[in-house]
Structure 1
Amino acid sequence: MTGLTARIRTTEGWPVPNAVLIVTDMSGRQIARAVSDETGAVDTEPLPPGVHTAVLTAVGCQPVARTVQISSAGTGLLGENALAPEAGAVALPPAGPWTIDPMHSTVIATARHLGIASIKARFSELSGRLDIAEPFDLTSGYAEIEAASIDTGIPMRDNHLRSSDFLEVDSYPTITFTSSGLRRTGGGTWVMPGELTLHGQCRPVELDVTYGGFGADPWGGVRAAFHAETVLHRNDFAIDYHAVVRAGVAAVGTTIKLELDIELVQGEQLPAM
């Protein structure tokens, strides 16, 4: 048997999953807490009869408080409730295909060196797209990086990184990432779970994504910007180079920080410039 029921949506009418409904009595004591499902529906256990306060919250949205009347049977109806974006939230890009612009995007991998410093490598050849959906959390994405395009600024080191000790680019020429959704974590932040294929190994990873906004460019197009980052473990991708320079100190650290600054152009393909 249910108590208080409600349905939660955005101001555009899309359901809000994982929204939280908290019910307090008139003294402020919490008497119920429930989380909405994928359709935005939420219900509590039966509640004490009387007048209570219901508070609806969701990540990236302004909270809403309502006074509710609970019947003698312990039930109540809150109905449809629209949650507005947080104040100052950046407008999301329009739905549809968006193509990565490699000339205005960067992929940087950072590894520890000798346990005391960091080495940064840039991958210069990148392609892919986002298919932005409504609701935004259903957005899917694909990116492909040419492994041989790694560049640390030192040719001898770059050739070593391309060798069988590391990326083995002759056998595994591309690094790919695919995703079919996002989880909002803040007003302009999301987690993008997906699968990364690197060095012949496919592993689940999660990108922490920050949205920068969208707007017109000087060439008649519309662009959107995102920053994403994650930490990878070399051993997860069978990159097990273990040269040791002194007791307990590896030449190259076992974790790699990956940072992506991605600029996308609205449409199926990049415009001619």
Structure 2
Amino acid sequence: GRAEVGNVVLARQGGTELPPPGPWTIDPAHSTVGAVAQHLGITSVHGRFLEFGGRVEIAEDVEKSRVEAVIRSASIDTGNGMRDGHLKSPDFLDVEQYPEITYRSSGLTPAGADRWTVHGELGMHGVVRPVDLELSYLGTGADPWGGTRAAFRATTELRREDFAMNYNQVVQAGISAIGTTLRVELDIQAVQGESLPG
């Protein structure tokens, strides 16, 4: 089955311009793909994926712009080796069976004077679902290497059960060890062109 997880919302701070049309390549060295989960209902556990890549195609007709990204699921890092091992296991990401997490946009519609909704699908743990991101376009500028960069920030909330990750442990009084939702936080720099410099 399919569940509506949502849309991507693009917003430009201080204007409605998007980056110049053409291909843009995500720079993993200057980007972060992070996630935050609740632990025992009182604290947050922060993690990030260290290996990922992708491209954005800005179209002359903005509504036809596209984005594709691939994340290596085994690159999860929460700062705790035992926890990371559990997250890579069949209880969660099952990285042997599903080595990649993918995102592909499927359309873009305006959502106000300076906002757009990008419709896309996230593939994770063998399940593909529509996703809801709130994405801010932070601007475009020159870099020290002669290139042009665009910056974006995006957040979304995913339900683990929508991606068939149902493992949990009830510790007491109905409190789960791990929250049912996962907050995803993306800080992305993209370089203009088909590939990264160097």
TM (norm. structure 1) is 0.66
Counterpart of 2:144 (choices 218, 227, 230) is: 218
| Distance 1:211-1:127 versus aligned 2 partners, 3 A rule | same
| Residue identity in the other structure for 1:236 | D
Q: How far apart, CA to CA, are the structure 2 residues paired with 1:219 and 1:94?
A: 18
Preserved CA contact (<8 Å) 2:13 2:138: no
Q: Deviations over 1:90-133 (max 9, x none)?
A: 63211111000000010111111001111111101110000101
Runs of 4+ with deviation above 4 angstroms:
none
Specify the SS of the correspondent of 1:182.
Answer: strand
Higher relative contact order by CA 8 Å / sep ≥ 6: 1 or 2?
Answer: 2
Q: Which runs of 5+ in 2 are unaligned?
A: 1-10
Q: Deviations over 1:191-245 (max 9, x none)?
A: 3221100000011112111101111110000100111111100001000012111
Q: How far apart, CA to CA, are the structure 2 residues paired with 1:120 and 1:186?
A: 32
Counterpart of 2:165 (choices 239, 244, 247) is: 239
TM (norm. structure 2) is 0.90
Preserved CA contact (<8 Å) 1:137 1:184: yes
Aligned residues: 188
Max Rg structure: 1
Q: How far apart, CA to CA, are the structure 2 residues paired with 1:88 and 1:229?
A: 20
| Distance 1:223-1:172 versus aligned 2 partners, 3 A rule | same
Identity of aligned residues (%): 56
Counterpart of 2:122 (choices 183, 191, 196) is: 196
1:253 aligns with 2:173: no
Question: Which residue of structure 2 aligns with residue 138 of structure 1?
Answer: 64
Q: Which runs of 5+ in 1 are unaligned?
A: 1-59, 61-85
| Residue identity in the other structure for 1:217 | D
Q: Deviations over 1:67-88 (max 9, x none)?
A: xxxxxxxxxxxxxxxxxxx994
| Distance 1:238-1:196 versus aligned 2 partners, 3 A rule | same
Shift of 1:135: 2.1
